[in-house]
Structure 1
Amino acid sequence: MTDQPGDRSMEAAGRRLTTREAADLLGVKPETVYAYVSRGQLGSRRAPGGRGSTFDPAEVEALARRGARREQQPTGAEFAFRTAITLIDTDRYYFRGVDATALARGYGYEEVVEWLWTGTLRPGTVFTAPEVALDAGRRAAGALPAHSTAMDRLRAAAVAASAVDPLRFDLAPEAVLGTARSLIPTLVGALPTAVPDQDGAPLAHRLWPRLTGRDSDPASLRVLDAALVLLIDHDLAASTLAARVAASARAHPYAVVSAGLGALEGPLHGAASGLAHRMLADVLDRGSAAPVVADHLRTGRRVPGLGHRLYRGEDPRATSLFAMLADVPQAGPALDAARDVVATTARHTELHANVDLALAVLSVTSGMPAEAGETLFAVSRTAGWIAHALEEYAERPLRMRPSGQYRGPRPPQPLP
């Protein structure tokens, strides 16, 4: 009798699974098996003769027991993305195999971004924008109504910078990287500030006066720079998926970033830190988390800044930022308020802090508006969207074409 996947006799004999056998055991498509490999969740070896890959039965069974997603997708849908950018595993996350929190402690935003894009670390890297792009971005953002948000200005600046770049349709990797290196500082430069930019200053130094009117200090700038690093990418979040869909259609980098910005603006994604900011400010005003948490629970609202579907414990981005915020003397009250929120909520349900709560501590402490976390998120994640676009440009175009499951009236129907 032919051995079946998971048969102990097969394992004892050293027989390895084919890709199809591994996919059947996991209940996924073969493409998803390769996605598990790219994320480091599954090992593989080339089959004898170099035809396909083989897998250890015990390792595949262990992944199945851990709850690998069993997929039921319409024919033709491709939602298993091979990526070498971010791995999220056991309450930690990694950029190209390197602990992201260690990168945030050791390097600046632009240094990490350049390394993530090219594989080369260039100490002291600073991104600059050409005057024509900066001028276009500032004029477009400045023409918006006074009540416009920072996200409105970022989206307008991206479109304006695109319009003055006649080479935007060049999707060669070096051209895309050149665009990205100028687009990120253009987005920051389009935000209003009363303080002139320092020539050659790191991006975090240029972003600070656009988020708050308070003077900066070394410890606070270090937290802001670390936050920029930690938010670069987080696997296939909604905005990243939107960016990859645009790249799959061979949209140019400005359009890819615009797609990401559009998805980011939802209250369940980038804007979530603003909800945490308002909650934390309320806790500080009322002197205790108890009545604030009670208000949220009474009205059926989630307590902002708590819980993350990818982590069982505390979000490692929050852990890292809280540790750095402890070195900012004025952050003490907001840090205590955040801990009070976590402890109070734990009486009802055990939820851990996520990065939105840590961003709220930074924004409340620094006198930033509630939307500052979303602005920081958008500027940082632009680099991640570009990294994913580079991967997607190397894939078959227009591969993301799911099939709709029609639920309307069956034809023929009379004319209205």
Structure 2
Amino acid sequence: MKDQAASGGGTGATAAQRLSTRETAERLGVKPETVYAYVSRGQLSSRRAPGGRGSTFDAAEVDALARRTGRRDPSPTADPVFRTSITLIESDRYYFRGVDATELAKRYTYEEVAEWLWTGGLRPGIRFTAPDEALAAARRAVDALPVHAGSTDRLRVAVIAAATVDPLRFDLSREAVLASARTLIPTLVEALPLTGGTSSTGDVADVSGAGLARRLWPKLTAQPADEPSIDALDTALALLIDHDLAASTLAARVAASAHAHPYAVVSAGLGVLEGPLHGAASGLAHRMLTEVLERGSAVPVIADHLRTGRRVPGLGHRLYVAEDPRARTLFDLLVDIPQAAPALAAARDVVTTTARHAPLHANVDLALAVLSVSSGMAAEAGETVFAVSRTAGWIAHALEEYGERPLRMRPTGQYGGPRPPQPLPTVTGEPLR
């Protein structure tokens, strides 16, 4: 056994408790060259073996490093891998708890799929309800923002406001976290202002008690809600709930690793989501489709993108070789919506035009753009849909992370600055007062 070989069969804290490079690599679950990388980064100390052949390492120090890093990947520079039972992506398909996610989204509502993701159980007809106190606080906070504030700004403020009136937010038991999630998501939706910047409580048809998609619709567009469009929006919400460890989900898990409460977990996710390479990507596709419709062809629009060094939005995905299955599912629904036909044709024109030079397929951002353009929504509508939907996924990952060793996501920086000791800096110019 490794421990016996390392200690010579003894158990005392003696100089004999040293490991060879090979034994150290095995104990850490890394390659031998990685052991020396740890040494060069100051994470391990080494001593020349008797006779000058190789190095030896203190067993206790090695075990401490293993506990601190929790690493079992082949290299300290490899992408971290976390256990999860939520989403699997393989062979151009993706699954929630082993079930085809696109089939779930087509058959069940957003709330039902979210519940499935959280608990592994199906609750037909479930509706999430916003409590009066949390909704009032969130609405006051959101309505106080400037008219030009973005939807993600409003959602972040709503999350913070809702958290302040929940005295049980620090209870990280599974039941308490799920209770918070079931009230937070509808609070976010109902706190958003109606289309046009009016208050969230303005004149609109009563949709209380309706599914989340129907309640979200008037926050995205002034167009009347028809059943095919509501179905497409609800399916989009269900499709986007989770997609493995996307950037915002990783941020949410880091927050949960520190035992942040679920509202803070969602805030962490929203902070990352706002980047143009993540949740905001559908807005870029929306603007591109609008330009294609205005100019009558994708050719000059694609040419302008390439000429200025911009990537064509809505195309390609690092996890799929063929078409994004989320896009394919949404496109199938959009075909049945008459007013979506022009935007759908524009999207196909974009794919066909770009395919002359690169084998790129549509991703979900392009499909969301077709829905937003054809429904008279603003460019940021897709980001709003993404944020509301993904909140359920962040909660699912938080529930998993709360069951893991706290603060396990603590990487060590590879310092590249001047080596100490350095002289104290000298004062230049007038001192700050």
Under TM normalisation by the shorter chain, which class is it? Answer: 0.7 to 0.9
Match of 2:96 in 1: 95
Q: Following superposition of structure 1 onto structure 2, how do residues 123-134 of structure 1 map, counting pairs within 5 Å?
A: 123-134=124-135
Alignment match of 1:199 (pick from 186, 208, 221): 208
User: Do structure 1's residue 233 and structure 2's residue 242 form an aligned pair?
Assistant: yes
Decide which moves more: 115-124 or 216-225.
115-124
Aligned to 1:258: 267
Q: Match of 1:7?
A: none
Task: Give, in whole Å, the separation in 1 of the partners of 2:227 and 2:417.
Answer: 60
2:199 alignment partner in structure 1: none
Distance 1:325 1:145, change over 3 A: same
Asked whether the 8 Å contact 1:86–1:235 carries over to 2, the reply is yes
How far did residue 410 of structure 1 move? 1.2
Question: CA–CA distance in 2 between the matches of 1:246 and 1:414?
Answer: 37
CA distance in structure 2 between the aligned counterparts of 1:119 and 1:342, rounded to whole angstroms: 37
| Candidates 248, 251, 260, aligned match of 2:257 | 248
Name the SS of the counterpart of 1:215 in structure 2.
coil
Q: 2:147 aligns to what?
A: 146
* Residue number among 72, 75, 87 corresponding to 2:75 in the alignment: 72
1:86-235 pair list within 5 angstroms = 86-193=87-194, 194=202, 195-235=204-244
Contact 1:78 1:399 (C-alpha < 8 Å) held by counterparts: no
**Do 2:283 and 2:381's aligned partners in 1 also have CA atoms closer than 8 Å?**
yes
Does the C-alpha gap of structure 1 residues 392 and 212 become closer, same or farther in structure 2, counting only changes over 3 Å?
Answer: same
1:226–1:291: structure 2 CA closer, same or farther, 3 Å change rule? same
Structure 2: 5+ residue stretches without partners: 1-25, 36-71, 195-201, 426-433
Deviation at 1:220, TM superposition (A): 0.4
**What letter is aligned with 1:252?**
H
Matches within 5 A, 1:14-413: 71-73=74-76, 79-193=80-194, 194=202, 195-413=204-422
Question: What CA distance in whole angstroms lies between the structure 2 residues aligned with 1:107 and 1:78?
Answer: 34
Equivalent residue letter for 1:228: L
| Partner SS state of residue 130, structure 2 | coil
TM-score norm. by structure 2 comes to 0.79
SS of equivalent to 1:258: helix
1:93 is paired with a residue of what secondary structure? strand
Instruction: Answer with 373-382 or 116-125: which moved more.
Output: 116-125
Once the two structures are superposed, residues 298-332 of structure 1 have per-residue CA deviations (whole angstroms, 9 ceiling, x without a partner) of 01110000000000000000000000000101111
Q: C-alpha displacement at 1:72, in angstroms? A: 2.2
Whole-angstrom CA distance in 2 between matches of 1:273 and 1:203? 21
Distance 1:28 1:281, change over 3 A: farther
Structure 1 moving runs of 4+ over 6 Å? none
- 2:299 maps to a residue whose letter is A
Q: Quote the RMSD (CA, aligned, Å).
A: 1.9
**Could you report, residue by residue, the CA deviation over 1:363-413 in whole angstroms, capped at 9, with x for unpaired residues?**
000000000000000000000000000000000000000010011111111
Distance in structure 1 (CA, Å) of the matches to 2:369 and 2:208: 29
Q: Give, in angstroms, the shift of residue 259 of structure 1.
A: 0.1
Distance (Å, rounded) in 2 between the aligned partners of 1:115 and 1:127: 14
Q: Cα–Cα, structure 1 residues 134 and 71, in superposed 2: closer, same or farther, change >3 Å? A: same
The residue type paired with residue 280 of structure 1 is: L
CA distance in 1, matches of 2:221, 2:120: 34
**Cα distance 1:131–1:196, how it changes in 2: closer, same or farther (>3 A)?**
farther
Q: Percent same amino acid among aligned pairs?
A: 73
Alpha carbons of 1:397 and 1:121: their partners in 2 closer, same or farther (altered >3 Å)?
A: same
- Match of 2:9? none
Distance of aligned partners of 1:398 and 1:197 in 2 relative to their CA distance in 1, 3 Å threshold: farther
C-alpha contact (below 8 Å) 1:162/1:254 kept by paired residues? yes
User: Quick one: which amino acid aligns to residue 75 of structure 2?
Assistant: Q
Aligned residues: 354
Where 2:89 maps in the other structure, the secondary structure is: strand
Q: 1:347 to 1:28 in 2, by over 3 A?
A: farther
Q: Residue by residue, what CA displacement relative to the aligned partner does 1:176-215 show, whole Å, maximum 9, x if unpaired? A: 0000000000000110124254221000000000000000
Report the TM-score, using the length of structure 1 for normalisation: 0.83
CA contact 2:289–2:346 (8 Å) conserved in 1: yes
Greater CA radius of gyration, 1 or 2? 2
The 2-side partners of 1:247 and 1:360 are apart by: 32
| Partner in structure 1 of residue 38 of structure 2 | none
Query: Offset at 1:79?
Result: 2.4
Q: Give the distance between the partners of 2:263 and 2:90, measured in 1 at CA.
A: 31
Deviation string, structure 1 residues 264-287 (Cα, Å, up to 9, x no partner): 000000000000000000000000
Partner amino acid for 1:119? G
Conserved in 1, the CA contact under 8 Å of 2:73 and 2:80? Answer: no
Consecutive unaligned residues of structure 1, counting only runs of 5 or more, are: 1-19, 30-68
- 1:78 touches 1:401 (CA, 8 Å); kept in 2? no
Letter in 1 for 2:345: D
